[in-house]
Structure 1
Amino acid sequence: MGVRPARTTAPTAAERARSVLAAAWSCAITTDHCHEELVSAHSVADDGTVRLCVPADSGLASASICAPRGEPTALLEFSDPAPVPVRDRIRSRLWLSGRFTRDGDHLVFHPACAVLHVPSGHIGIDIDDFARAAPDPLATAESRLLTHLADSHADAVEWLTRLLHPQQLAEVVRVQPLALDRHGLTLRLERLRDHEDVRLPFQRPADDLAQVTERMHVLLASARATRRPTLRSVAPKD
């Protein structure tokens, strides 16, 4: 009898990186000759190459002309902020190093190295894994889903704290939804002096918005059936 593979409860580093890239609306670009920040100026191909529309008078456009063979090297940085106000709001940063080539009026960036910066450290990502990985199917919808959950369903977030051990809620003063992907929901537990992130995995991955709604209902049903206190019962009193 074969060994059953472990159930996946979180995206891989390459998938996380591709999700950051898919959801980002701005990027910072550094070359040997300039540093620029562009907003709503990039798109991403299936293999992870980045296509940029840059102003003709920008330093980046000039660098592409002056570089040897017209292919400047560059570092691109994409930030991954939490859509809900929390401490240390930047959840991760993606750094891509590589080179640009020209394609008409656009610059195409070809990554050669990818590093994901997270609170626990730096994760180097194999560039072939990065190219093959797909962004999470919820990546571009995550921001509005978490904002809606925090603004309109704070009671549901409190119910979900029943899935945590009461010791995890000790001295916690606020809980916010921090991240959402096809494998689960992450909550930020904020205390007066520190915070902790806890993950609530789905029973099965969600491939679209309808499925993530169903998975959330399963989590809530499990929380309501759990004989544990909610955050309100154990939070410190003013």
Structure 2
Amino acid sequence: MSVAPSPALPQQTAAEQVRSVLARALSLSLTLGGQTYDLLGAHTVGARGRITLHPPADTPLTDHLALAPADALDARIDLTDIAPTALRDRVRARVTLTGRLAPATPGDPGSLRLDLARVVLRTGTGTHEVAPGAYTLAAPDPLALEEAALLTHLADAHADLVSELVDRAGSRLPHGVVRALPLAMDRHAVSLRCEYGEGHCDLRLLFPGEARDAAEAGDMVRRLLTAPRCAHHH
């Protein structure tokens, strides 16, 4: 029960979505030579989205790197973006980056940078190829790092407000909503997942203006309750 939003609606670009996923990711999976390693807290994202891996010492990954020929470090990095609230089907996006690993600092094998060749974003609306140039020029959404706290606060402390927002959507939603929970938030809008006995649909509510930080986002959510009805669902 998901329809792509109109391109005319303000929304993050695919490149911004990828950068936002990376900005808040604590873990990733690295695939090298057919072997996959799960890394937790072992990467950083620098200027222009440059990913640097900091493999922990004395692990199967460092053994693999020590034995790998210098010209055979083709790598794939996978990240999964999970909704912070306890809704059904919590995977919001998957990001795959492929390229080659090289020492981040010449002569220092302790950290490795990914020289990017390809970026793919998969969401509920489909698969999107992101040009590496667009990726490096994009910036994460300004709410990316605070989004989880904003959504969990909305779910835990303001369930009545969420219900009111769903009520305001009125005829735009199919009947029979069993539960609604915050799904996502960016500078343009808050999205709610409306769950039914079977299946769900997502409701995107555009803010009256752009939110540049958490305080403005909270204000925008409150203003939605008094704004003209302008909900869009997909």
TM over 0.5, shorter chain:
yes
Range 113-122 or range 151-160, more displaced: 113-122
TM superposition shift of 1:167? 5.0
Residue matched to 1:35: 36
Unaligned residue ranges in structure 2 (runs of 5+): 1-6, 230-234
Which residue does the alignment assign to 2:18? Answer: 17
Kindly report which structure 2 residues correspond to 1:113-152, keeping only aligned pairs within 5 A, or say none: 113-152=118-157
- Say whether residues 1:75 and 2:80 are aligned partners: no
1:64/1:70 contact within 8 Å kept? no
Match of 1:183 in 2: 188
Which residue matches 1:88? 89
Structure 1 residues 197 and 162: alpha-carbon distance in aligned structure 2, compared to 1, 3 A threshold: same
Contact (CA 8 Å) 2:43, 2:52: kept in 1 or not? yes
**Is this contact kept in 1: 2:42–2:56, CA < 8 A?**
no
Shift of 1:198: 1.3
Question: Is 1:154 aligned with 2:154?
Answer: no
**Cα RMSD for the two superposed structures:** 1.8
Following TM superposition, by how much is the alpha carbon of 1:53 offset from its aligned partner in structure 2, in angstroms? 1.3
TM-score, normalised with respect to structure 1: 0.86
CA distance in 2, matches of 1:77, 1:34: 13
Following the alignment from structure 1 to structure 2, what is the Cα–Cα distance between the partners of residues 123 and 23? 20
Q: How many residues align?
A: 219
**8 Å Cα contact 2:181-2:192 kept in structure 1:** yes
Query: Superposed, which structure 2 residues align to 1:38-49 within 5 Å?
Result: 38-49=39-50
Identical-pair percentage: 38
Aligned match of 2:4? none
TM-score, with structure 2 as normaliser: 0.87
Task: Give a deviation string over 1:119-140, Cα, whole Å, max 9, x none.
Answer: 2321111110011100011111
Give, in whole Å, the separation in 2 of the partners of 1:202 and 1:7: 15
Query: Aligned-pair distance for 1:8?
Result: 5.3
Once residues 163 and 17 of structure 1 are traced to their aligned partners in structure 2, the CA distance between those partners, rounded to angstroms, is 31
Gaps of 5+ in 1: 1-5, 227-238
Aligned to 1:60: 61
CA distance in 2, matches of 1:188, 1:8: 18
Separation in 1, partners of 2:160, 2:197: 22
Tell whether 2:31 aligns with 1:26.
Answer: no
How far 1:213 moved relative to its partner? 1.9
1:18-70 Cα distance to aligned partner (Å, 9 max, x none):
00011111001111152110111111012112111112323333343333435
